[in-house]
Amino acid sequence: MKRLGTLWMIFLILGTFASAKMHYTDPKPTFENPRKIIVRLKSGDVHVANHLIGTINNILKEYPEDALKVAVIAYGPGMRVLRKDYDSQTLKRLRSLLAYDIEIIGCLNTMKTMGWKRKEFIDGVDYVQAGVAEAIERQAGGWIDATPY
């Protein structure tokens, strides 16, 4: 009898989580007024990069596709993640984000400092002179920084 009560409680809890819906703050995100999110990729660590990709995937699940813009801005050691010779599984996950119209932006200053060329990076990367300045300007323009670390 006690076991039956425990199972009932588990199903009740799971049902609550299964029916939980995202509550959007006004003004609600729409095609005309999407949520605009930046995620800073500033670490070359494979675990950090994969956590960041997971965070982006979680955000994508919560918002209607047409009501969200995401820009990944890589600079400093984070530029290493965008190189073709980086961890193949991580690059596969990163490339999959491009199917969702995610902007991936790389820092030319970091590339110059490291002696790296554009041909060494994955396709789909847009470049700016200074990644940090790009993040600052996007935030000044109303973009929200959702970097997990």
Residue 47 lies in a domain: yes
Residue 7 lies in a domain: no
Residue 16 lies in a domain: no
- Say what the pLDDT of residue 103 is: 96
Which CATH number is 62's domain given?
3.40.1260.10
Residue 57 lies in a domain: yes
For residue 42, give every residue at least 6 positions away whose Cβ sits within 8 Å of its Cβ, in sequence order, or none. Answer: 74, 75, 76, 77, 78, 147
C-alpha to C-alpha distances, 13 to 8, 19, 58, 96, nearest whole angstrom = 9, 10, 21, 33
- Say what the pLDDT of residue 65 is: 81
**Residue 7, pLDDT above cutoff 90:** no
Task: Give the residue numbers spanning the domain of 104.
Answer: 26-145
Q: Which tens digit of pLDDT belongs to each residue from 84-111?
A: 999 999 999 999 998 888 999 999 999 9
Considering its fold, how many domains does the chain have in total? 1
pTM for the full predicted model: 0.84
Averaged pLDDT for residues 24-31: 87
Residue 81 lies in a domain: yes
Residue 80 lies in a domain: yes
**Highest mean pLDDT, choosing among 21-30, 64-73, 134-143:** 134-143
Residue 84 lies in a domain: yes
